[in-house]
Amino acid sequence: MTEAPATTKNIDPRELRNAFGKFATGVTVVTCRTPDGTPHGATVNAFTAVSLDPPLAQVTLIRGNKASQYLEDQPFAINIMAEDQLDLCLNFAGKPMAAPPEWRSDEGIPVLCGNAATIECKPWRIYDGGDHIIVIGEVTDIEVTDANPLLFFSGKFRELGPHCEGSPWEASGDALAFGWFEGSTSFKSF
């Protein structure tokens, strides 16, 4: 007997946004050049590490905004914001600062000064993501500083808190090389 497919529940967009907001993220400003060469940026918290080999990173941008149009075939930088860069985040989210942002150089991919980390990418793939586009870049250069990152949680900017108890693990329990069953040829039942 075949079961009927499950019906999709109508999801309230505000409730969905609230649920997504319970996942704390870092804050980035994705920067690139406009067709006339002017540096451009957009504040984005949808950033994901994708792969170490090849080195890939992903950002998700609102479909139709300027940055999503400029990234079609352009190199870009993912500027991971430091705690003291809130004004820059707001600037690239549409609330301009009194002074213009400070750029690292006038050449190449535009990169902001003072980041917690910077990941420079060349275009790799772009995918449809509904009302967003999913942009994956191949990492071409990185810079990491000791600055703490700016965080975003439940619609508000946050700072990094103290460490939690416990220690991180080296690999997932289902990792091929480090799994619970590595080297096992027989298994005891519970």
Assigned domain for 83 exists: yes
Phi then psi dihedrals of residue 76, to 5 deg: -150, 165
Q: pTM of the full predicted structure?
A: 0.81
Assigned domain for 57 exists: yes
What is the reported pLDDT for 185? 55
Assigned domain for 167 exists: no
Strand ranges, E, within the chain: 25-26, 28-33, 39-44, 47-52, 55-62, 76-80, 117-129, 132-144, 150-153, 156-159
Assigned domain for 176 exists: no
Residue range 112-140: mean pLDDT, rounded: 95
Range of the domain at 75: 13-159
Could you tell me the CATH number of the domain that includes residue 154?
2.30.110.10
Assigned domain for 181 exists: no
Assigned domain for 142 exists: yes
Assigned domain for 2 exists: no
Secondary structure class of 146 (helix, strand, coil) = coil
Instruction: Please give the mean pLDDT across all residues of the chain.
Output: 85
**Residue among 159, 122, 115 nearest 32 (CA):** 122
Q: What is the pLDDT of residues 44-100, one digit of tens each?
A: 988 999 999 999 999 999 888 888 888 888 999 999 999 999 999 999 999 999 999
* Domain tally, the chain: 1
Question: What is the number of alpha carbons within 13 Å of residue 120 lying toward its C-beta?
Answer: 12
Assigned domain for 60 exists: yes
> Over 60: is that where the pLDDT of 184 sits?
no
Cα angle, residue 177 at apex, residues 172 and 181 outer, rounded to 5°? 75
